[in-house]
Amino acid sequence: MLFSSITFLYAFLPILLALYFIVPKGWRNGVLLAASLLFYAWGEPVYLILMIASITVGYVFGLLIDRYRERPRLANLLTAASVCVCLSSLILFKYSDFFLSTVNALAGTKFALLRLALPVGISFYTFQILSYTVDVRRGDAPVQKNPFTFATYVALFPQLIAGPIVRYVTVAEELNHRSTTREDVAYGMARFVVGLGKKVMLANVLGEVCKIYRETDESSVLFTWLYLISYALHIYFDFSGYSDMAIGLGRIFGFHFLENFNYPYISRSITEFWRRWHMSLGTWFRDYVYIPLGGNRVSRLRWVFNLSVVWMLTGFWHGAGWTFILWGVWFGIWLIIEKLWLGKWLAKIPAPLSWIWSTLLVLLGFVLFDAESLTVAVSRMGNLFGVGLPLVTDTALYYLRSYGVVLIVGIIGATPLPKLVWSRLREKKWGLNVSAFLEPAALAVLLVLISAYLIDGSYNPFIYFRF
């Protein structure tokens, strides 16, 4: 089930909210757990068994690690076992065919591919379970002895399919003791509708441009750049819109999830970009891979190795393909270069130049991210710089005119400008709070437009379903 669906908006969510606030507080985790399991089972009930099995494994290992805390060797062994068992399902469903096809290509073997469907959200809930057992071993998180409460943490539907990756320590207290004020509900609903608008009115429309480009035989330099900029905005609004919806829904239910995006496209360096993009994933790899490897408190050569491992894994986490791995390596290389040589130079040159430089590197990285193969990626890179293509065609101009307004809105929306304007409107002038009148009206109009778009059955994918 998608957040951006009529079924979710006008059936699942209203019924859940009514039940959640009617039942006694002691029953609310049960309502959330039941709703989350139904939400997950809606599209693929078979894989609900896999998620419940993963939850059980995480819960049992948490208890065992806590029980044998005073026996470090055994506790460490149990922690390692929990990591291996949790990762095994992720490797089986997400990476088995990649490994088999790679072996077939290198060794000339003919192992049959498993062709297993990828369970939705498996990358996210696996990382949440891993962080829980590791944090229990470190003493950073309390062990959860109630299996249903732990299941609620892992299966919590607002962040189940797209994050942000919520660490147990962040919500441990709220799982047991939380309350929701009117301000929380108002904020959560507004945040949800804005995120839904980003997803439906911007990401979906810009995704149409990308779909058209991939399917057409005609291309030009202008059309390729139009596609690439549209794709960068499409994936940003798609993913950040879902994060906004998750944070908003979480607030309605009394949870305070951490932010996941902070205007990454205003960054002046690749380092800054990754401090602003998918922040929950970045901090996860920092705390559970980079720092355990030694972080930057090692020799320069070992530091380069540590950073390379982290970014190769970051790419691999996003997808089982060489294009994803090279996408991670691409950013890893530029981060290393910035740390060693370019960082001071980028800080000294005019801000527009450092922004152009960084944005170009990000866009080129997204060519790899979206390509079906390395051959396609190389071809599109060549198209960007006019290798064998005309600069402009009538087709490119047609789609530029057709989607130009949405593109401009998307570019502006990816900056802090709309938030700055809205904060100014919130300031009381002449004894009148303008936002008190504008905000409900604007949100109502936006929800009507979104509903009309969804009823129309327009293009409505979610890109992170394949991750």
Point out the residues that are catalytic: 318
Reference 266, options 147, 151, 352, 376; nearest CA is: 352
3-state secondary structure of 401: helix
CA distance 439 to 397: 36
**Residue 170 tokens, joined:** 């962040």
Phi-psi region of 428 (alpha: psi -120 to 50; beta: other; left: phi over 0): beta
Which residues, in sequence order, are CB contacts of 414 under 8 Å at separation 6+? 233, 236, 237, 263, 265, 266
In the structure encoding, which two tokens stand for residue 353, read together? 């130049």
Residues 6+ apart with CB under 8 A from 213: 219, 223, 224, 226, 227, 230
Q: Count the neighbouring beta carbons within 10 Å of the beta carbon of residue 352.
A: 9
**3-class SS of residue 446:** helix
Q: Which two tokens stand for residue 218?
A: 């005609």
Six-digit token string for 56: 């059980």
Bridge partners for 432 per DSSP = 429
H or E segment and range at residue 400: helix 394-413
Rounded to whole angstroms, how far apart are CA atoms 277 and 393? 34
| Distance (Å, whole) CA 327 – CA 367 | 9
